[in-house]
Amino acid sequence: MCEFTFYTQYFHNNLECVVIGRALHLQVFLRAKEYCRLHYTDVSSIYFLTQELTDTDVKRNIWTGYNMESNQSSATETGLLSLLSQQEVQGNSPTCVLFDEGQLLLKDCEIKNKFYCFWSNLDLVTENKTWEEALEHCRSQDKELISLPSESALHEVLLASGQLHTSFLWTGARYLAGSWLWMDGTSPTYNCWSQGQEPSCPALSNHCGALSLEEEVLESWDCDDKLNFVCRNV
């Protein structure tokens, strides 16, 4: 449930809601990010603001979660940054990315603006575990390792994974009896494998699926490697 907000957007099962702060929550970029991470999960991504947000009444002067100084964005967001209007910023202040009526603008991070937070019920685990250990951890909490049945599910995971400590994370994909399966029983219809299709004959050790957070693709991975992972509610 989203509380203390005047705008709520529900979509998909994993991301319960995204929320915009009231006028009293106008903040400089750093304070907006601190607020979202304290009360929710993080500041909403450029992808959400440009692709998912449809209410034109609340699309003006909104901080995205992207700071040009950090040089950190997903491959999808790097593409979206090509929409950025290059504008000069006075002084030596760091430049942050603002969303305003369909445009991405460079602005002084110390200016106060509205911002969106998002909350996710995905369980991010920053402890490094093997694939089997990760699966056992999730199931001990009546959850499952994440599956990626659609593009929107992929973006939800990427959106929620900003605080993980590894560049790859375990998914519930496993090569068993000659086929790749999602361990939660999800039908493997969506293809986000790095080769453009499921690896048909992976090396014996690489029978587990790991998601590259930088390339946004699945890779067959050594099951004994230790990675962060994400569990989801069943």
Q: What are the tens digits of pLDDT across the range 25-65?
A: 578 888 888 888 888 777 877 766 666 565 555 567 888 87
Instruction: Give burial (CB, 10 Å; 0-12/13-18/19+) of 57.
Output: exposed
pLDDT tens-place string over residues 87-137 = 554 555 667 888 887 778 888 888 888 887 777 778 889 999 999 999 999
Q: Kindly state the percentage of the chain with pLDDT values over 90.
A: 32
Nearest to 53, CA basis, from 23, 82, 15, 84: 15
Q: What is the pTM of this model?
A: 0.68
Q: Does domain 8-118 have CATH number 3.10.100.10?
A: yes
Asked if residues 10 and 154 have their Cβ atoms less than 8 Å apart, the reply is no
- Please report, for the chain, the start and end positions of each structural domain, with discontinuous segments joined by +: 8-118, 122-233
Q: Which residue(s) pair with 180 in the sheet?
A: 175
CATH topology agreement for domains 8-118 and 122-233:
yes
Which pLDDT does position 175 carry in this prediction?
Answer: 96
Cβ atoms of 136 and 119 closer than 8 Å: no
Q: In this predicted model, what pLDDT tens digit does every residue of 181-216 receive, in sequence order?
A: 999 998 778 899 998 889 998 999 999 999 999 899
Q: What is the CATH number of domain 122-233?
A: 3.10.100.10
